[in-house]
Amino acid sequence: MASEPVAAAPALAPAAAALGRGRARSRAAWRRRLTILAFLSPWLVGFTIFFGYPLVMTAYLSFTSYDLLSPPRWIGLDNYRYLLSEDVDVWPAVRNTLWIIAIGVPLQVLFAFGVAAMLTRARAGVGFFRTIFYLPALVPPVAATLGFVYILNPSTGPINTVLDRLGIQGPLWFNDPAWAKPSLVLLGMWGIGATMIIFLAALLDVPQHLYESAELDGASALQRLRWVTVPLVSPVLLFAVVLGVIQGLQYFTQAYVAANVAAGAASQAGGSSVLEQGYPEGSTLFYPILLYYHGFRYFSMGYASAMAVLLLAVAFTFTAIVIRQSRRWVHYQGAVR
């Protein structure tokens, strides 16, 4: 792998020597390029097949009517027209997804932050508490959802039974349109273990002397939080928020499972019994679930593709905006960007 000794050129004329050096260098450069290409090749192949190709195909299919059994039929902008002006199912789905992002994400981030903050103040048993808070995040989402639906069953579930013994009539949880999404947020909050640990690490990373000097300057606890903690933890906050929003845009599993199970419709998951979409009353119909229905239940693959393109546009725009805005308020403590 060693390059040819450039030192073998002393007998030649300077020009020839330069040429020899140049050729050797370009050979080495070629070898370097090949190495880089070799290292990157899986990604290049993967990106083309699993990112480039599907994006192009999705874009193409969005202009067609395609039921997957007959060949796609070109219909131009018709899917988009219907999607943006006539489809009555889409906007409630969009609202649901926006709700879970606008309310679910901040709640979960704040909760994770709060729990982590409390852990930093604890003296005894930090490892023990940390384990307990992280454990639910390890539970498979389907299992966790099944568990929660069972626990929050309005008539036979343990939570309402306990509330009943305390004299409170528990809500209908997953069976009440006003409570279904909050129940899903509760499920999400139960599983914030990973985010919480990241915040914990970031909080512990804040140099203690900054707090001390702030306290000496007369800053209250709240002011210390605002001016010391938050800025120094901001990269992690940004990370958690961005991740949360991206997950919100893809939110599928928990809502799909919870709706089917709570409706009692899941006697056969994937069967098309005509009950409610997004039980109860459409409150758990999120955009990705509607996309799935259109593509894999109503056999409108073309339309599903149009929905997918819209989703991609939103995800991309959001990420670009956040990254751009983040330069203003995120403070990187000397880390390489």
Partner 1 sequence: MRRLVMALAVLAGLVIAAASLAATSSPKAEELEVWVGWSAGHELVEFKKVVSEYDAKNKNVDIKVVGGIVDDKIFAALRSGNVPDVVSSFQSNNVGIFCPSGGWIDLGSYLKRDKINVNIFPAASRYYTQYKGTRCALPLLADTFGFYYNKALFKRAGLTRPPKTFAELSAYAKKLTVKKSDGSLDVVGYNPNALFYHGGAGISTYGTLIGATYFDKNGKSNLSRDAWSRLLRWQKSLIDYYGYDKLVRWQTGAGDEFSASHAFERGKLAMMLDGEWRVAFLKNEHPELKYGTAPMPVDPAHKSAYGSGYVNGTIIGIPKGADHEEEAWKLVKYLTTNDHALAKFSNGIRNVPSTRSSSKSPELIPDKNFSTFLKIFTHPKSATIPITPIGLDHLQTFSNFVAKWNAGDVDDLRAGLQEVDKTIDSKIKQKG
Partner 2 sequence: MRRRRFLIAVADHALLIALAVAFLLPVVFIVLTSLMTNDQALSSNLWPAPFRWSNYTDVFSSSPLWRWAMNSFIYASLATIGLLLSSIPIAYAFSRLRWRGRDAVFLVVLIALMLPPQVTVVPLYVMWAKLGLVGTLWPLIIPNWLGDAFAIFLLRQFFLTIPEEYLDAARVDGCGELRILTTVVLRMAKPAIAAVALFSVLYTWNDFFLPLLYVSENPDNWVTSIGLAQFRNLHQVQWNLTMAATVLVMLPVIVVFFLAQKAFVEGVTLTGVKG
Beta bridge partners of 68: none
CB 144 within 8 A of CB 136: yes
Does 268 bind partner 2 (CB under 8 A)? Our answer is yes
Shortest distance in whole angstroms from residue 199 CB to partner 1: 35
| Exposure string for 251-283, b = 16+ CB within 10 A, e = fewer | beebbbbbbbbbbebbeeeeeeeeeebbbbebb
Candidates 16, 37, 45, 68: give the one binding partner 1 (CB under 8 A). Answer: 68
Residue 15 to residues 7, 20, 128: CA-CA distances in angstroms? Answer: 14, 8, 72
| 289/295 Cα distance (integer angstroms) | 10
Shortest distance in whole angstroms from residue 197 CB to partner 2: 5
| 279/274 Cα distance (integer angstroms) | 12
Does 248 bind partner 1 (CB under 8 A)? Our answer is no
**Which of the listed partners (partner 2, partner 1, none) does 306 bind, with a CB threshold of 5 to 8 Å by partner kind?**
none
Does 272 bind partner 1 (CB under 8 A)? Our answer is yes
- Give the tokens for residue 306: 């149009």
Cα torsion for 103, 104, 106, 107, to the nearest 10°? 100
Which range touches partner 2 (CB under 8 A), out of 14-22, 170-178, 197-205, 211-219? 197-205
Shortest distance in whole angstroms from residue 51 CB to partner 1: 22
Candidates 252, 276, 299, 326: give the one binding partner 2 (CB under 8 A). Answer: 252
Candidates 296, 298, 321, 329: give the one binding partner 2 (CB under 8 A). Answer: 296
- Give the tokens for residue 126: 């930090």
Does 172 bind partner 1 (CB under 8 A)? Our answer is yes
Which stretches does DSSP call E strand in 2-78?
64-65, 73-74
Binding track over 43-82 against partner 2, x by CB under 8 A:
x-xxx-xxx-xxx-xx--x------x--------------
Cα angle vertex 37, ends 31, 40, to 5°? Answer: 145
Does 78 bind partner 1 (CB under 8 A)? Our answer is yes
Does 24 bind partner 2 (CB under 8 A)? Our answer is no
Candidates 2, 15, 268, 335: give the one binding partner 1 (CB under 8 A). Answer: 268
The C-alpha R_g of the chain, in whole angstroms, comes to 28
Q: Which of residues 111-140 bind partner 2 (CB under 8 A)?
A: 115, 118-119, 121-124, 129-136, 138-140
CB 155 within 8 A of CB 163: no
CB 70 within 8 A of CB 59: no
**Rule CB under 8 A: which residues touch partner 1?**
65, 67-70, 75, 78, 82, 86, 88, 153-156, 172, 175-177, 262, 264-265, 267-277, 279-282, 296-300
